[in-house]
Amino acid sequence: MLVVGAPFYSLLELHWPGREPKTVGVLVVDPKSGDSALRLVEDWSGLVDDEDLEVVEALEADLRREVRDKGGEAVLEELEGSLSNVLRLGARAAARSGPLEHTLERLFYRHAEPSLPVWSLRAAAGGFGRDEDVETEGWAPAPPHLAARDDLFVAHVEGDSMEPDIPSGSLCVFRKPGGGTRQGKILLVEMEGTSRGGGAVTIKRYRSRKSQSDEGWSHEQIIMEPLNPKYEPWLLDPDESFRVIGEFVQVLRQQPV
């Protein structure tokens, strides 16, 4: 739902004859500040016929110039419903508040080039690794069967304790924690304020031994299991503080460490 004066965005779609419609850009506008930001795909080859590349690139140049000279909101008002048959603006939609360029980047990689954020943390598939100041260091193309959703992210995994399923040096997709049981799931876990040190991150299969008393169920022991039989499980006391960062979804690709 759009709120008057709040940031919004519109998708730029390419409707080329004989081809499936394709989102090729995003325009974000902040009416209060008057600022706007536009991003379009860098490579038009494959989206249109080779002999028509110059036509599309000319339309792109015109649009960029109009946004720069007049501002995004004015250009939207002029162009809504009046673009060519091949380049069309989608409906306005509410955008998150925050730095315009960050909002544009997130929307572009969701809609125009479906991608997942690559977090800067390194998960140790062995002991506990350390990482500080985690941030988005780049973007990785989302697999076709996975939508580019806000609850998915990518992280590096180093070490061989989760081989063969997760090779050392892999980029892996994780889902941010939600509800449901953790039992038997492969989790990305951060230790908090223990003898192992805050910020220690590992990836293991989670097992929990529970006991029941008059007060209900409680954890007797938490076991972090490697998949590689060369390694022993990590046994955690229930009072050790840890945080689940994500649930393993799949290996995205392997890269050299």
Task: State the Cα angle at 250 between 246 and 253, rounded to 5°.
Answer: 115
Least confident of 125-134, 146-155, 233-242: 125-134
Q: What is the DSSP letter of 117?
A: E
What DSSP letter does each residue of 174-235 carry, written as one string? EE---SS--TT-EEEEEE-SSTT-TTEEEEEEEEEEEEEETTEEEEEEEEEE-SSTTSPPEE
On the CB side of 189, CA atoms within 13 Å amount to 26
User: Which tops the pLDDT comparison, 217 or 223?
Assistant: 223
pLDDT category, 134, cuts 50, 70, 90? confident
Give the contacts of 28 (CB within 8 A, at least 6 positions apart): 7, 8, 9, 36, 37, 38, 72, 95, 100, 103, 104, 107
pLDDT category, 66, cuts 50, 70, 90? confident
pLDDT, averaged across the chain: 82
The two beta strands, 115-124 and 35-40, are unpaired
Per the CB < 8 A criterion, the answer to whether 183 and 111 are in contact is no
pLDDT above 80 (res 247): yes
Mention the CATH class of domain 117-254: mainly beta
For 157-182, b/e burial (b = at least 16 CB within 10 A) is bebbbbbeebbbbbbbbbbebeeeeb
pLDDT tens digits for range 221-245:
788 899 999 999 988 776 667 888 9
- As beta bridge partners, residue 27 has 10, 38
- pLDDT of the residue at 48: 81
Q: For residue 91, which amino acid is it?
A: A
pLDDT category, 215, cuts 50, 70, 90? low
CA dist., res. 109 & res. 154, Å (int): 14
CA dist., res. 176 & res. 150, Å (int): 9
pTM (2 d.p.): 0.69
Q: Domain extents for the chain?
A: 8-113, 117-254
Mean pLDDT of 50-57: 83
| Phi, psi of 59, deg, nearest 5 | -60, -40
pLDDT tens digits for range 163-206:
999 999 999 999 998 877 888 999 998 876 544 445 678 899 99
What DSSP letter does each residue of 56-96 carry, written as one string? HHHHHHHHHHHHHHH-HHHHHHHHTTTS-SSEEE---EE--
Which structure tokens are listed for 27?
């325009």
Give the contacts of 3 (CB within 8 A, at least 6 positions apart): 94
